[in-house]
Amino acid sequence: MPELPELETIAFKLNDTMVGLEIDRVKVYNHIILYGTTVADFESLLPGHSFESFRADGKFLIATLSDGLEIVINPMLTGRIRVAKKPRRAIKEDAISLIIDERSLWYSDRKKMGRVYLVRDGNYSNVADYSGRGPSALDPDLTFDIFRTRIKRHNGQIKNVLRNQKFVKGIGNAYADEILLFAGVLPFRRRATLSQEEIEKLYTSMKKVLTKFKDILMKRPVNEIALEKRDFLMVHGKHKGICPLCGNRVSEVTSNRFKTNYCQTCQK
């Protein structure tokens, strides 16, 4: 699943290569991922508009076009963004293509779980799960004092709190595991049991881990990010592997199809 570091990196790279270019034509290959508009409108309204900017907003990628139009993408678990520098044919997992001269921008989704919206004049009322979210986990204005105040509003297991977009936006399953390992906190701990020192470690770990991963991703092209080659992860997906911090085995628990990986030695 693309999380905040991936989406911020993709937005940065698309700003560098796509801004100012005009969309020639649009093709929707699977209508299931379109929300709040029809295939006919989506394919007919976008040509002739140029890209003005791209930005990550939590787990959303937003492309701003001329004349107040925006494409809002929530990739969910399997949505991916790719760029082609020469014409190519659609493959089974492709959902949308935006053709810009000889190059093209593709949204693919092998399980068709993501959502794509066409927004006019900044009205996000029809975008599911957009309103009521917290600040971005990488927002420079998210200070420790704000973090500490916000976290006290949320109860339950600390991993679920980190993944709750109403607390902070942009953290998903994989990066929650990484943050908790670096902070030395078990994912199953109740938020109310965390000490002031542990909350501060959690805040510091969140900033350091997400920034480190973003720095790694910035060195990779968009199409490589789409492969979700997260070879830099320390614990998530490393069941029975070796914890890089202490050398002991990584444990795993699966609940509601989501895997949680942790180190019983490093995390308390």
| The CA-based dihedral angle spanning residues 249, 253, 259, 264, taken in that order and rounded to the nearest 10 degrees | -40
CATH superfamily of 4-120: MutM-like, N-terminal (3.20.190.10)
Average pLDDT, the chain: 97
Do the domains 144-262 and 4-120 match in fold? no
Domain boundaries, the chain: 4-120, 144-262
- Select the CATH number that applies to the domain covering 144-262 from these four: 1.10.8.50, 3.40.50.620, 1.20.1090.10, 1.10.10.2160: 1.10.8.50
3-state secondary structure 160-222: HHHHCCCCCECCCHHHHHHHHHHHCCCCCCEHHHCCHHHHHHHHHHHHHHHHHHHHHHCCCCH
List pLDDT tens digits, range 194-223: 999 999 999 999 999 999 999 999 999 999
Tokens, residue 156: 């339950």
Q: Indicate whether 1 pLDDT > 90.
A: no
Q: Indicate whether 122 pLDDT > 90.
A: yes
* Nearest-angstrom CA–CA distance, 50 and 23: 6
List pLDDT tens digits, range 240-253: 999 999 999 999 99
Phi, psi of 185 (to 5 degrees): -115, 130
Confidence of residue 256 (pLDDT cuts 50, 70, 90): confident
Average pLDDT over residues 89-107: 96
Q: Indicate whether 102 pLDDT > 90.
A: no
List pLDDT tens digits, range 144-189: 999 999 999 999 999 999 999 999 999 999 999 999 999 999 999 9
